[in-house]
Structure 1
Amino acid sequence: MLPAVQNFIVERMSQKYIEPPTFDLSLCYQDSNFFSPLIFVLSPGADPMAGLYRFAEEKGMLPPPGSQATNPSKFSVSVKRRKISVVGEVNPAELLARASKSKLQTISLGQGQGPIAERMVMEAVQAGTWVVLQNCHLAASWLPELERICETIITDPTITKPSFRLWLTSYPSPVFPVSVLQNGVKMTNEPPAGLRANLLRSYLNDPISNSEFFNSCNKPKVFEKLLFGLCFFHALVQERRKFGPLGWNIPYEFNESDLRVSVQQLQMFIDKYDKTPLEALRYLTGECNYGGRVTDDLDRRLIMSLLNIFYNSKIIDDDKYRFSNSDIYFAPSKGAYDDYVEYIRSLPLVPHPEVFGLHENADISKDQQETQLLFDGILLTLPRQTSGDGKSSQEIIEDLAYDILQKIPQDFNLDEIQNKFKVMYMESMNTVLIQELIRFNRLTKVVRSSLQDIRKAIKGLVVMSSELEDVFDSMMVGKVPAIWAAKSYPSLKPLGSYVTDLLARLAFFKDWINGGTPSIFWISGFYFTQSFLTGVLQNYARRMKIPIDHLGFQFDVTKFETSVPQKPTMGAYIKGLFIEGAKWDRKTCIIAESLPKILYDQVPVIWLKPGDRATFEEKSYYQCPVYKTSARRGVLSTTGHSTNYVLTMTLPSDKPESHWVNRGVAMLCQLDD
């Protein structure tokens, strides 16, 4: 929502109409009965279980935790070589006593859990207690049985006690029983939108909102400062998702349970140690609690870089430690709980990208992604038939198929090319060329045959199969058909740009065949980029008689933009890369801040210089990942290589590496348009 619109709403109505209300479970409970399940529709970043446990305690279904005075917990923590062990002693008698008094039973559904869940429901029906079945979407085969229980067992007042309640949690799923959904009380507790709303929710929820907990630490200043930093970090990692690949390579579902565990660990460590063990806290919070969800190594690098902003000694010592270059976001001086809440309410409703560590251009990328998502939804409603005097959809597709067929060249003659570029021990590029041509021949055959068949199907000469129908529908909305994508290199381009890009790749290899090995390689034109990189290393290894496992690349960004005077003496020149989140400064030859409203910068020719990794010099570099597309994620193929990640380049920088890590800077082989 734009600030002008927000101000207008506040002036004409009130502040409450731009702030989401807090979730009230008691109101939902009042609408329920023993025969109507209460269904939590889960969303990324939301965890309803903490609120449910708290509500169960209020209703007397779950006894409050007792005193641990008889056998207090003892913890010891050791930090050595980034390995941390936490040893604790708890009172098992208290845990067993609390479990025996509980009238709330929970189970997470999955393989083999159905019969156990059914037994728990039958016992609770007779006892009049509560049952929580979590993650129903993971038990698709047992859901028909759940439907039978909800329709026959719990609806019978002669069997079920009025105090019985069945709670269900599930992500939206097509296999969830419709009748259960219709008869139940539906609830969703989506994570708040916006940095301020995230911070406010953290401070208004347990355990932070509990005054006894908030004031229980024996070092209140240290605890309150680091607690605010932790909550800010939690809001930051949540909100970075809206920036797409600039925020995270993979959008993770960080939720309140991650924050809650980290807050409890923070209090425990501050209480137990005279000097706060920041390294241990960073490891537990970044690598274990939040990092436990992270599956991408570069995302793990990012999460630790962000956490270093909030978990450091400066936030404790400085009364106004700033989280960004502006004076808006900082760690307030020690005060009462209400002072922190008041400061949070004073923050801007729409944060600037700089607070996330991103360039102002990130807002443009975010808006483009939201617009594209909207247009994709509109295209799904596009009718096949056209009205008026224009061409019919069949005529449009037939003309488009004919036009593409005229542009697609004939397949490469592999026999002739193999005779010209024979397998040579000292020239691995010949093998790389043949492998690439085999892959492109496979792709062009699929493209050609599908276009020929769709033209015949439109004329009624062949049956319109489901595959051809998908080709027709995709071409109608300007998308690459799935049958092409299955045989294609990774690409996010629309149909028109994809065809143009494919023709450019074929022309690149045609020039290679006719003119010999090029002096500069278009790295974006390769189907399997890793084979080219391996070929460059292999040539050097055989020439210098060094094991290829010892070799790596050094990267020299040259002054040449598109062409070079001659081939390098070793390695290879490459072109065709774009840098996102930053630019390449031609004068100083380092990466620098992007220009306003320029999202991508084409990088000059880069010299890949192979060498022994043991001899590489240590310099101030940014380890910049290179991807084939802007999606920045991909699955490992049978070769052990990612379908999207290419390699990591070292680029010179005059700023700390964390600056560019937070910026989300990466190189792309191709753009989306």
Structure 2
Amino acid sequence: MERDAGLDVIKLSDKDFLRSLENAVRFGKPCLLENIGTDLDPALEHILLKQTFKQQGSMVIKLGDAIIPYHDDFKFYITTKLPNPHYTPEVSTKVTLVNFTLSPSGLEDQMLGIVVAEERPDLEEAKNQLIISNAKMKQELKEIEDKILERLSSSEGSPVDDLDLIAVLEASKIKSQEIKAKVMVAEQTEKDIDVTRSQYIPVAINTQILFFCVADMANIDPMYQYSLEWFVTIFLGGIAHAERAEANNIKQRVLNINNFFTFSLYSNVCRSLFEKHKLLFAFLLCSRIKQHNGEIDMDEWRFLLAGGTSKPKEVPNPCEDWVSIRSWNDILTTGVLPKFASFSEEFKNHADGFKKIFDSSEPHREELPGKWNTDLDSFQKLIVLKCLRPDKVTNAMQDYVAENLGQRFIEPQTADLHLVFKDSSPTTPLIFVLSTGTDPAADLYKFADEMRFSKKLSAISLGQGQGPRAEAMMRSAMERGKWVFFQNCHLAPSWMPSLERLIEQIDPDKVHRDFRLWLTSMPSDKFPVYILQNGSKMTVEPPRGLKANLLKSYSGFTDDFLNSCGDKTVEFKHLLLSLCFFHGVGIERRKFGALGFNIPYEFTDGDLRICVSQLKMFLMEYKEIPFKVLVYTAGHINYGGRVTDDWDRRCMMSILNDFYKPEVLNEDYKFSESGIYKQIPPSNDHNGYMSYIKSLPINDTPEIFALHENANITFAQNETNTMLGALLLLQPKTSSGGGKSREEVMEETAKEILGKVPKPIPLDPIFEKYPVMYEQSMNTVLIQEVIRYNRLLETVHNSLQALLKALKGLVVMSQELENMANSLFINSVPSMWAGKAYPSLKPLASWVVDLEARMKFITDWIENGMPSVYWISGFFFPQAFLTGTLQNFARKRVISIDTISWDFKVMRESLTELTKQPDDGCYIRGLFLEGARWDPIKQMLAESRPKELYVDVPVIWLIPTANRKNPDKGIYECPVYKTLTRAGTLSTTGHSTNFVFAVELPTDQLQKHWIKRGVAMLCALNY
């Protein structure tokens, strides 16, 4: 469009960006500013507003600090590669926004053209020729009409007497009829061609569905970026390599292309996906295809991902002994789906059949009882499974993908450097996407050696001040045909635009054909999209599982190293194996979420290496093995240096003490009860140790981590929740199809919440009824709670009313309101509410029910006075309540609050029996126990029952006691947290902001047993 006018193309990252723009303004040339972000350079302000003015008779404009001549022919274009940019109203009013993003229909037409051009080039060429000739003939008709109108307007006198005009009209009429006849023939021919082309439409539809699946993956991780050009290349390869069909069997050929291309795309994308996202991607491909075919109801799809958006009617649970409260609520909520209208009723009638599924080790492969096995399709059965056994949903997703796309879509996709290198070129960088604790440098050096490039490989670790050196290295390598390896690009975000410019400027005709650019980076939204879209990507992950970690650790040892401690070689071998076990256990406990550690620490090979060096050094220097020194250096310095949570440090030290102790020097020592993980005779050489490690099970059992069997269920449920949460991020912002529109769902949800959530509580009557008193701190606690809740309630009400107005078009839909509406649609708590609220992991529907219950607790307190038993989970800030209780006791006894601590008693009496407050302290309720259960008969902690993840804790009496001596045995000091994640920001006390306080619970086990079990109490669950 502007090529002939001498279009200037510039970027904000260009060194002479303003000078190039100035020249375009001066000389009236068109200018294109490429790849901007969400913010614009302030220097462009006057250009965008076109604030010209006259100076000494000439038109001028301000650019930055300079005033320059303005040419009227100057045109300014700006483009962005951001998939969904949000510009402020201030920016939007200064420019004309044009959306050039791909639409499904536009991409479908483009893909249809490509496939027909490959399969039937004669048809596509004829089609294109017809389009050109039709346009030309229609242009001729327009010119004839314009010519007639011109002659008529310029004719003097009567047109009937103008012989020249009549001749022109006659000639035009004949010409017009000829052209119209040709157009009709051409249009008919085009229709005939379109009939044949239409047979390839299924390929175009399938291809556009797959493209948007790939494009949406960027919402999961910023490194998952793929260009249309790359996609089309794979598509063309799919067409070329798909199995041919018999002549004229286009239907079979279409099927072959779709099948081959779908798997080819999946394989290529999988190379650049982390392991945890591969099943997600396969399930996304499968479900999007099914949705387009009308085989998945969108309301059912939303229900699977987000659950119900409203509280079901309360119906007694018919199977309380094995159906949890959460499962029963989910079963009741399915009633909003037409297909499941009678499910909760039928559930009672077929309880035994559903119990069989619940108890099965493979519930996703069991048949449903009654009519449900035939009435529900395989997708709808996922909803039933999510209600009963959410820990097996990912397994069921695998089966669903295998059933609909094929077994190969759930099999591991191998990716090696040879494959990545094969897809590269001098202009295509090779990108390693890292996860914590990984370094592909050794693999790359080995590959370079295989390719005979080890002497032609230069490496540099990027960071502050390394940019100029890296640029010089790259320019030299481009000329000489070397490889350059830039490590840790995420540590040099400010240099990334320069790297992008360098790659863009590579001239394929001038660069040496052997040149390759290798990059490593952690996932970062600062990494240039251009490089990601045009590069060949490969993820690098640490080994998964204890066995893989041990193999990795021992692969770095040799026989010489194992025998390098002289007369302490036997002890060294035993302690080395023990230390490597500890390293693997520490890494693998992360997968169990908060049961493992509150915070998922990234222990690295470097931590192990320094511990091994110190182990060897201390063994050589001390006659007696200094276990205390070994434990201290490993637990408090090397590994402990990463640990920021005090309760995690307690856990890690308990685990370390099991691996660094004199008993591990015994040849028959067992690291686990089953004896699978054990010491082996020190007479073994390196091969012997490797053989033993290879004999270990691939799938770890929780026993080696000192966790209960239920920990595997927690791990699997976390995987399910993570996957469904990620799929929620990929939901298109369109109507739900077939049912209510997206806007109707949002409006209905907003109105429902408005009707449920109470309005802020007036403060004056509370001040009057509960004045601030020295003797009664609870009055102050109550007032503070009301103020906090009122702030939240005002935010909820005001934002919902604003959203309802925006949905009706009465006010502008701001970005904040749009985000809130999206949250309502996917049953998630809006961030603007969460910012004003207490910590919570509940979905929106449960969060609203919980807020109602909290407000009832507060209003009952206001109306009826202090409760006999406090619902500790109902406090916005429970620490204030605990401090207030201690203050009351201190003021009553006239003693310093610093001398008071808690004693604890778990009550035998039920909640209804405790009608009066205790003389000192308070009763609390509402806590849940995770990792263990309370035995009401023995009145102590006991092991969890199978599949019972959380149990209610009886009422606890908190007894303030002066100068109390903490018991040193017979108790477990159990931390209490606000939510299941347990992690929060670190406060000045060294505790997480999620931490409330610690409760001492009676036990007949050693405290370290429950510490390693990850036992804790929680104020609220995630449902």
- TM-score tier by shorter-chain length is 0.7 to 0.9
What's 1:212 paired with?
560
Determine if the alignment matches structure 1 residue 39 to structure 2 residue 431. yes
Quick check: 1:229–1:311 contact (8 Å CA) kept in 2?
yes
Q: Give the Å deviation of 1:566.
A: 1.8
Determine if the alignment matches structure 1 residue 147 to structure 2 residue 500. yes
Find the aligned partners of 2:538 and 2:983 in 1 and give their Cα distance: 33
What's 2:671 paired with?
323
Deviation sequence 1:77-98 (CA, Å, 0-9, x none):
xxxxxxxxxxxxxxxxxxxxxx
Work out which of the residue numbers 925, 942, 945 in structure 2 matches 1:595.
Answer: 945
Work out which of the residue numbers 868, 887, 893 in structure 2 matches 1:538.
Answer: 887
Work out which of the residue numbers 889, 907, 924 in structure 2 matches 1:574.
Answer: 924
Quick check: 2:668–2:679 contact (8 Å CA) kept in 1?
yes
Distance 1:156 1:259, change over 3 A: farther
Find the aligned partners of 2:583 and 2:787 in 1 and give their Cα distance: 48
Find the aligned partners of 2:770 and 2:716 in 1 and give their Cα distance: 48
Find the aligned partners of 2:1008 and 2:776 in 1 and give their Cα distance: 40
Q: How many equivalent pairs are there?
A: 615
Unmatched 5+ residue regions in structure 1?
A: 6-16, 64-101
Tell me, what secondary structure is at the counterpart of 2:1004?
Answer: coil
Find the aligned partners of 1:267 and 1:26 in 2 and give their Cα distance: 39
Deviation sequence 1:510-557 (CA, Å, 0-9, x none):
111111111111000000111111111111121222222232212221
Distance 1:354 1:641, change over 3 A: closer
What's 2:713 paired with?
364
Find the aligned partners of 2:898 and 2:547 in 1 and give their Cα distance: 50
What's 1:661 paired with?
1011
What amino acid is the match of 1:523? Answer: I
Q: Give the Å deviation of 1:174.
A: 2.6
Quick check: 2:767–2:783 contact (8 Å CA) kept in 1?
yes
Deviation sequence 1:465-489 (CA, Å, 0-9, x none):
2222222211111111111111111
Find the aligned partners of 1:559 and 1:290 in 2 and give their Cα distance: 42
Deviation sequence 1:639-670 (CA, Å, 0-9, x none):
99843111122222211221111111111001
Find the aligned partners of 2:425 and 2:825 in 1 and give their Cα distance: 50
Find the aligned partners of 2:459 and 2:543 in 1 and give their Cα distance: 29
Determine if the alignment matches structure 1 residue 494 to structure 2 residue 843. yes
Q: Give the Å deviation of 1:501.
A: 0.5
What's 1:332 paired with?
680
Distance 1:401 1:34, change over 3 A: closer
Question: Which deviates more, 421-430 or 253-262?
Answer: 253-262
Distance 1:225 1:642, change over 3 A: closer
Distance 1:519 1:353, change over 3 A: same
Superposition pairs for residues 22-421 of structure 1, below 5 Å?
A: 38-49=430-441, 106-110=460-464, 112-115=465-468, 117-118=470-471, 133-152=486-505, 167-181=518-532, 186-204=537-555, 206=556, 208=557, 210-218=558-566, 219-316=568-665, 318-334=666-682, 335-383=684-732, 384-388=734-738, 390-421=739-770
Tell me, what secondary structure is at the counterpart of 2:862?
Answer: helix
Quick check: 2:824–2:830 contact (8 Å CA) kept in 1?
yes
What's 2:995 paired with?
645
Find the aligned partners of 1:268 and 1:29 in 2 and give their Cα distance: 43
Find the aligned partners of 1:333 and 1:608 in 2 and give their Cα distance: 52
Question: Which deviates more, 623-632 or 544-553?
Answer: 544-553
Find the aligned partners of 1:598 and 1:576 in 2 and give their Cα distance: 17
What's 2:76 paired with?
none
Find the aligned partners of 1:211 and 1:666 in 2 and give their Cα distance: 44
Q: Give the Å deviation of 1:305.
A: 1.4
Of structures 1 and 2, the one with the larger relative CO (CA 8 A, separation 6+) is 1
Distance 1:31 1:391, change over 3 A: closer
Q: Give the Å deviation of 1:340.
A: 1.5
Tell me, what secondary structure is at the counterpart of 1:330?
Answer: coil
What amino acid is the match of 1:420? Answer: K
Distance 1:651 1:130, change over 3 A: farther
Work out which of the residue numbers 951, 955, 979 in structure 2 matches 1:605.
Answer: 955
What amino acid is the match of 1:333? Answer: P
Work out which of the residue numbers 955, 977, 982 in structure 2 matches 1:627.
Answer: 977
What amino acid is the match of 2:710? Answer: N
Find the aligned partners of 2:600 and 2:977 in 1 and give their Cα distance: 17
Find the aligned partners of 2:473 and 2:506 in 1 and give their Cα distance: 13
Unmatched 5+ residue regions in structure 2?
A: 1-278, 280-360, 366-394, 396-409
Q: Give the Å deviation of 1:586.
A: 1.1
Question: Which deviates more, 422-431 or 553-562?
Answer: 553-562
Superposition pairs for residues 500-519 of structure 1, below 5 Å?
A: 500-519=849-868
Deviation sequence 1:611-635 (CA, Å, 0-9, x none):
2345444443222111100010112
Quick check: 1:353–1:360 contact (8 Å CA) kept in 2?
yes
Question: Which deviates more, 518-527 or 538-547?
Answer: 538-547
Deviation sequence 1:379-419 (CA, Å, 0-9, x none):
3344431333x332322332222222222223211011101
Quick check: 2:978–2:995 contact (8 Å CA) kept in 1?
yes
Determine if the alignment matches structure 1 residue 442 to structure 2 residue 791. yes
Determine if the alignment matches structure 1 residue 585 to structure 2 residue 938. no
What amino acid is the match of 2:561? Answer: F
Quick check: 2:759–2:794 contact (8 Å CA) kept in 1?
no
Q: Give the Å deviation of 1:365.
A: 1.0
Q: Give the Å deviation of 1:26.
A: 8.7
Distance 1:504 1:440, change over 3 A: same
Distance 1:617 1:195, change over 3 A: closer
Q: Report the TM-score, using the length of structure 1 for normalisation.
A: 0.83
Q: Give the Å deviation of 1:580.
A: 0.2
Find the aligned partners of 1:293 and 1:54 in 2 and give their Cα distance: 31
What amino acid is the match of 2:828? Answer: K
Distance 1:394 1:148, change over 3 A: closer
What amino acid is the match of 2:554? Answer: Y
Deviation sequence 1:232-275 (CA, Å, 0-9, x none):
11211121111111112111222222222222322232233332
Find the aligned partners of 2:459 and 2:876 in 1 and give their Cα distance: 54
Question: Which deviates more, 379-388 or 465-474?
Answer: 379-388
Find the aligned partners of 1:472 and 1:603 in 2 and give their Cα distance: 37
Question: Which deviates more, 212-221 or 611-620?
Answer: 611-620
Question: Which deviates more, 263-272 or 430-439?
Answer: 263-272
Find the aligned partners of 2:903 and 2:467 in 1 and give their Cα distance: 56
Find the aligned partners of 2:980 and 2:838 in 1 and give their Cα distance: 14
Deviation sequence 1:336-374 (CA, Å, 0-9, x none):
211221121221221211111110111111111111122
What's 1:73 paired with?
none
Q: Give the Å deviation of 1:581.
A: 0.2
Deviation sequence 1:48-84 (CA, Å, 0-9, x none):
3566678899999999xxxxxxxxxxxxxxxxxxxxx
What's 2:131 paired with?
none
Deviation sequence 1:430-487 (CA, Å, 0-9, x none):
0000000001111111111222222222222222222222222111111111111111
Find the aligned partners of 2:955 and 2:782 in 1 and give their Cα distance: 21
What's 2:781 paired with?
432
What amino acid is the match of 1:670? Answer: A
What amino acid is the match of 2:736? Answer: T
